[in-house]
Chains A and B, each alone.
Chain A
Amino acid sequence: KAGVTQTPRYLIKTRGQQVTLSCSPISGHRSVSWYQQTPGQGLQFLFEYFSETQRNKGNFPGRFSGRQFSNSRSEMNVSTLELGDSALYLCASMGGPTNYEQYFGPGTRLTVT
Protein backbone atom coordinates (compact mmCIF):
# COMPACT_ATOMS: atom_id res chain seq x y z
CA LYS A 1 0.00 0.00 0.00
CA ALA A 2 1.33 3.44 -0.85
CA GLY A 3 1.90 5.80 2.06
CA VAL A 4 0.71 9.35 2.56
CA THR A 5 1.96 11.63 -0.19
CA GLN A 6 2.30 15.39 -0.08
CA THR A 7 3.00 17.85 -2.86
CA PRO A 8 4.97 19.93 -3.34
CA ARG A 9 7.83 18.95 -1.04
CA TYR A 10 9.35 22.44 -1.02
CA LEU A 11 7.90 25.88 -1.61
CA ILE A 12 9.27 29.39 -1.45
CA LYS A 13 6.73 32.20 -1.33
CA THR A 14 6.74 35.91 -0.69
CA ARG A 15 4.94 37.62 2.18
CA GLY A 16 1.37 38.46 1.23
CA GLN A 17 1.01 35.65 -1.30
CA GLN A 18 -1.17 32.60 -0.84
CA VAL A 19 -0.26 28.92 -1.08
CA THR A 20 -2.06 25.60 -1.54
CA LEU A 21 -0.63 22.33 -0.28
CA SER A 22 -1.94 18.92 -1.27
CA CYS A 23 -2.16 15.60 0.55
CA SER A 24 -3.21 12.15 -0.64
CA PRO A 25 -4.01 9.76 2.21
CA ILE A 26 -3.44 6.03 2.37
CA SER A 27 -6.02 4.21 0.30
CA GLY A 28 -9.13 3.54 2.38
CA HIS A 29 -8.36 6.16 5.02
CA ARG A 30 -11.09 8.77 5.33
CA SER A 31 -9.55 11.04 7.96
CA VAL A 32 -6.89 13.57 7.01
CA SER A 33 -5.28 15.88 9.55
CA TRP A 34 -2.84 18.74 9.05
CA TYR A 35 -0.08 19.86 11.42
CA GLN A 36 2.41 22.69 11.44
CA GLN A 37 5.90 22.00 12.76
CA THR A 38 8.25 24.82 13.73
CA PRO A 39 11.37 24.83 15.94
CA GLY A 40 9.74 27.25 18.36
CA GLN A 41 6.19 25.88 18.67
CA GLY A 42 6.77 22.22 17.85
CA LEU A 43 3.97 20.21 16.27
CA GLN A 44 0.62 21.97 16.31
CA PHE A 45 -2.68 20.63 15.03
CA LEU A 46 -4.33 22.71 12.32
CA PHE A 47 -7.49 20.81 11.39
CA GLU A 48 -8.93 17.44 10.51
CA TYR A 49 -11.26 16.42 7.72
CA PHE A 50 -13.39 13.30 7.62
CA SER A 51 -15.68 12.44 4.73
CA GLU A 52 -15.33 15.96 3.28
CA THR A 53 -16.34 17.65 6.56
CA GLN A 54 -14.09 19.49 8.98
CA ARG A 55 -14.28 17.45 12.16
CA ASN A 56 -11.77 19.30 14.32
CA LYS A 57 -9.98 22.61 14.27
CA GLY A 58 -6.90 23.91 16.08
CA ASN A 59 -6.12 27.45 17.20
CA PHE A 60 -4.96 29.01 13.98
CA PRO A 61 -6.20 32.19 12.32
CA GLY A 62 -8.76 32.08 9.53
CA ARG A 63 -5.98 32.55 6.95
CA PHE A 64 -5.46 28.80 7.31
CA SER A 65 -8.18 26.78 5.64
CA GLY A 66 -8.62 23.35 4.18
CA ARG A 67 -10.92 21.08 2.32
CA GLN A 68 -11.32 17.43 1.47
CA PHE A 69 -12.53 15.89 -1.74
CA SER A 70 -14.73 12.87 -2.30
CA ASN A 71 -11.65 10.69 -2.93
CA SER A 72 -10.32 11.75 0.54
CA ARG A 73 -7.51 13.85 -0.93
CA SER A 74 -7.11 17.08 1.01
CA GLU A 75 -5.74 20.52 0.41
CA MET A 76 -4.82 23.26 2.81
CA ASN A 77 -4.58 26.89 1.88
CA VAL A 78 -2.78 29.72 3.60
CA SER A 79 -3.66 33.22 2.46
CA THR A 80 -1.77 36.47 3.03
CA LEU A 81 1.40 34.67 4.01
CA GLU A 82 3.47 35.97 6.90
CA LEU A 83 7.12 35.28 7.70
CA GLY A 84 5.98 33.27 10.72
CA ASP A 85 4.15 30.82 8.47
CA SER A 86 7.50 29.35 7.43
CA ALA A 87 7.31 25.78 8.66
CA LEU A 88 7.09 22.12 7.79
CA TYR A 89 3.45 21.26 7.09
CA LEU A 90 2.62 17.65 7.75
CA CYS A 91 -0.42 15.74 6.67
CA ALA A 92 -1.58 12.55 8.36
CA SER A 93 -4.19 9.99 7.46
CA MET A 94 -5.92 7.84 10.02
CA GLY A 95 -7.24 4.34 9.65
CA GLY A 96 -5.87 0.84 9.94
CA PRO A 97 -7.24 -2.20 11.81
CA THR A 98 -8.08 -0.20 14.93
CA ASN A 99 -9.01 2.98 13.00
CA TYR A 100 -6.63 4.83 15.31
CA GLU A 101 -3.39 4.38 13.38
CA GLN A 102 -2.21 7.75 12.16
CA TYR A 103 0.43 7.86 9.43
CA PHE A 104 2.26 10.97 8.34
CA GLY A 105 3.48 12.10 4.96
CA PRO A 106 6.98 13.52 4.33
CA GLY A 107 5.75 17.09 4.69
CA THR A 108 5.90 20.28 2.65
CA ARG A 109 8.64 22.70 3.64
CA LEU A 110 7.26 26.24 3.19
CA THR A 111 9.62 29.19 3.31
CA VAL A 112 8.14 32.69 3.32
CA THR A 113 10.52 35.52 2.40
Chain B
Amino acid sequence: GEDVEQSLFLSVREGDSSVINCTYTDSSSTYLYWYKQEPGAGLQLLTYIFSNMDMKQDQRLTVLLNKKDKHLSLRIADTQTGDSAIYFCAEGLSGNTGKLIFGQGTTLQVKP
Protein backbone atom coordinates (compact mmCIF):
# COMPACT_ATOMS: atom_id res chain seq x y z
CA GLY B 1 0.00 0.00 0.00
CA GLU B 2 0.91 3.64 -0.17
CA ASP B 3 1.70 5.24 3.16
CA VAL B 4 4.14 7.88 4.34
CA GLU B 5 4.77 8.51 8.04
CA GLN B 6 6.43 11.45 9.79
CA SER B 7 6.79 12.52 13.38
CA LEU B 8 4.48 15.45 14.10
CA PHE B 9 6.66 17.92 15.96
CA LEU B 10 10.29 18.93 16.36
CA SER B 11 11.69 21.77 18.47
CA VAL B 12 15.29 23.01 18.15
CA ARG B 13 17.37 26.01 19.19
CA GLU B 14 18.49 28.55 16.62
CA GLY B 15 21.89 27.56 15.23
CA ASP B 16 21.42 23.85 15.95
CA SER B 17 20.87 21.22 13.24
CA SER B 18 17.37 19.86 12.66
CA VAL B 19 16.69 16.34 11.44
CA ILE B 20 13.23 15.48 10.18
CA ASN B 21 12.51 11.82 9.52
CA CYS B 22 10.09 10.05 7.21
CA THR B 23 9.28 6.44 6.38
CA TYR B 24 7.41 5.18 3.35
CA THR B 25 6.00 1.83 2.36
CA ASP B 26 5.89 1.70 -1.45
CA SER B 27 9.09 0.27 -2.88
CA SER B 28 8.26 1.45 -6.39
CA SER B 29 8.81 5.12 -5.59
CA THR B 30 10.92 6.99 -8.10
CA TYR B 31 11.54 10.36 -6.49
CA LEU B 32 11.19 11.45 -2.87
CA TYR B 33 10.50 15.06 -2.03
CA TRP B 34 10.69 17.54 0.80
CA TYR B 35 8.32 20.49 0.89
CA LYS B 36 7.99 23.42 3.30
CA GLN B 37 4.69 25.09 4.11
CA GLU B 38 4.42 28.37 5.98
CA PRO B 39 1.11 29.56 7.45
CA GLY B 40 -1.42 30.50 4.81
CA ALA B 41 0.87 29.53 1.95
CA GLY B 42 1.21 26.75 -0.60
CA LEU B 43 3.97 24.16 -0.62
CA GLN B 44 7.51 25.20 -1.44
CA LEU B 45 9.68 22.53 -3.06
CA LEU B 46 12.88 22.37 -1.00
CA THR B 47 14.66 19.43 -2.57
CA TYR B 48 14.13 15.98 -3.99
CA ILE B 49 16.17 12.83 -4.44
CA PHE B 50 16.01 10.07 -6.99
CA SER B 51 15.36 6.69 -5.43
CA ASN B 52 18.69 5.22 -6.60
CA MET B 53 20.67 7.87 -4.70
CA ASP B 54 21.81 7.71 -1.07
CA MET B 55 22.43 11.37 -0.37
CA LYS B 56 21.88 14.81 -1.80
CA GLN B 57 23.24 18.07 -0.45
CA ASP B 58 21.92 21.50 -1.33
CA GLN B 59 23.39 24.39 0.70
CA ARG B 60 22.08 23.94 4.28
CA LEU B 61 19.94 20.95 3.34
CA THR B 62 21.10 17.32 3.33
CA VAL B 63 18.79 14.51 2.30
CA LEU B 64 19.64 10.93 3.25
CA LEU B 65 17.82 7.96 1.74
CA ASN B 66 17.98 4.42 3.07
CA LYS B 67 16.08 2.49 0.44
CA LYS B 68 16.42 -0.84 2.26
CA ASP B 69 14.66 0.56 5.34
CA LYS B 70 12.45 2.92 3.28
CA HIS B 71 13.67 5.80 5.44
CA LEU B 72 14.21 9.38 4.32
CA SER B 73 15.60 12.23 6.37
CA LEU B 74 16.09 15.96 5.91
CA ARG B 75 18.86 17.68 7.84
CA ILE B 76 18.82 21.47 8.08
CA ALA B 77 22.16 22.86 9.21
CA ASP B 78 22.38 26.08 11.28
CA THR B 79 18.60 26.25 11.70
CA GLN B 80 17.17 29.76 11.73
CA THR B 81 13.87 31.15 13.07
CA GLY B 82 12.79 31.59 9.45
CA ASP B 83 12.94 27.81 9.08
CA SER B 84 9.94 27.46 11.42
CA ALA B 85 7.24 25.84 9.28
CA ILE B 86 5.61 22.51 8.49
CA TYR B 87 7.77 20.12 6.50
CA PHE B 88 6.24 17.42 4.33
CA CYS B 89 7.92 14.45 2.78
CA ALA B 90 6.29 12.89 -0.26
CA GLU B 91 6.94 9.97 -2.53
CA GLY B 92 6.35 9.93 -6.23
CA LEU B 93 5.38 6.54 -7.56
CA SER B 94 6.75 4.82 -10.64
CA GLY B 95 5.41 5.76 -14.05
CA ASN B 96 6.41 9.43 -14.13
CA THR B 97 3.03 10.66 -12.97
CA GLY B 98 2.20 13.67 -10.88
CA LYS B 99 0.64 11.69 -8.06
CA LEU B 100 2.50 12.25 -4.80
CA ILE B 101 1.76 10.53 -1.51
CA PHE B 102 2.35 12.92 1.39
CA GLY B 103 3.18 12.39 5.02
CA GLN B 104 1.16 14.25 7.63
CA GLY B 105 3.83 16.90 8.06
CA THR B 106 6.34 17.74 10.79
CA THR B 107 5.99 21.09 12.54
CA LEU B 108 9.45 22.53 13.13
CA GLN B 109 9.67 25.08 15.92
CA VAL B 110 12.91 27.06 16.12
CA LYS B 111 13.53 28.80 19.43
CA PRO B 112 15.80 31.87 19.53
Contacts and interface: CB of A to CB of B under 8 A. Distances in A.
B41 A102 contact: no
A104 B43 contact: yes
A100 B31 contact: yes
B73 interface: no
A100 B96 contact: yes
A81 interface: no
Interface residues of A, number: 26
B35 A48 contact: no
Interface residues of B, number: 24
Contacts of B100: 33, 35, 45, 92, 102
B42 interface: yes
A4 to B, nearest CB: 8
A64 interface: no
B87 interface: no
Interface string A32-53: 1101000000110100101000
Contact of A33 (B44, B50, B96, B99): B99
B99 A45 contact: yes
Given A43-B88, A100-B48, A101-B48, A107 B42 contact: yes
A14 to B, nearest CB: 24
Given A100-B30, A100-B92, A106 B99 contact: no
